[in-house]
Amino acid sequence: MKMTPSRVTAERDWVRDRADTVVPIINAVRDDLGDIFETDVDPVTDEQYRAEVDELFRDGDLAVNVAAMVAILRELDVEGDYPGFVVDELVGRELAATIAGVQPLRTLGEATFHYADVHTHGPADENAGVDDLEAALAAGFQERIPGWDWTERASPFSVE
């Protein structure tokens, strides 16, 4: 695989164009986790998602790594799927974490990936890595996009 600026742009466009698939996953995850943690979480719009994709890809060093993981998962398919389970989980988890950002969002992105992945299934004619990719995008971007009350307040643990 060769990563060039034009390939990064193409992968960004693919991620951006998946809003109609990824945003419903984000909102389903937010609804479920909001219920589990007894909190309201704001839904995400297609416009918010696309704006956040654009923001992430403005950072070239981050963009090339995200684009490479996206490309890997888009192409990943293992005959019988189960033997490839570990690799798509590893790449998906790392992609979600990379998109989510620094701690604690990074770890939350990884954990949320596993939750989203269990609930995300693509069509049988799609490469096995694509549903992991969609789960990773949903998990990572849902951490970046505002809507969780705890991320929108001053931390009670800040030391002055």
DSSP 5-38: HHHHHHHHHHHHHTHHHHHHHHHHHHHHHHHHTT
Q: Rounded to whole angstroms, how far apart are CA atoms 143 and 112?
A: 9
Proportion of the chain above pLDDT 90, given as a percent: 68
| Interval 22-33: pLDDT, tens | 999 999 999 999
- Give the DSSP letter of residue 41: B
Q: Rounded to whole angstroms, how far apart are CA atoms 40 and 34?
A: 6
Structure-block tokens of residue 116: 């989203």
What pLDDT is attached to residue 84?
Answer: 62
| Interval 37-91: pLDDT, tens | 888 899 999 999 999 999 999 999 999 999 999 999 998 877 766 666 778 889 9
What pLDDT is attached to residue 49?
Answer: 98
**CB neighbourhood size of 111 (10 A):** 17
Who contacts 3 (Cβ-Cβ below 8 Å, separation ≥6)? 64, 67, 68, 71
| Interval 116-152: pLDDT, tens | 988 877 766 666 778 899 999 999 999 999 888 777 7
pTM of this structure:
0.91
Q: Rounded to whole angstroms, how far apart are CA atoms 34 and 55?
A: 26
* pLDDT higher than 90, residue 156: no
What pLDDT is attached to residue 148?
Answer: 82
Provide Rg for the chain, Cα atoms.
Answer: 16
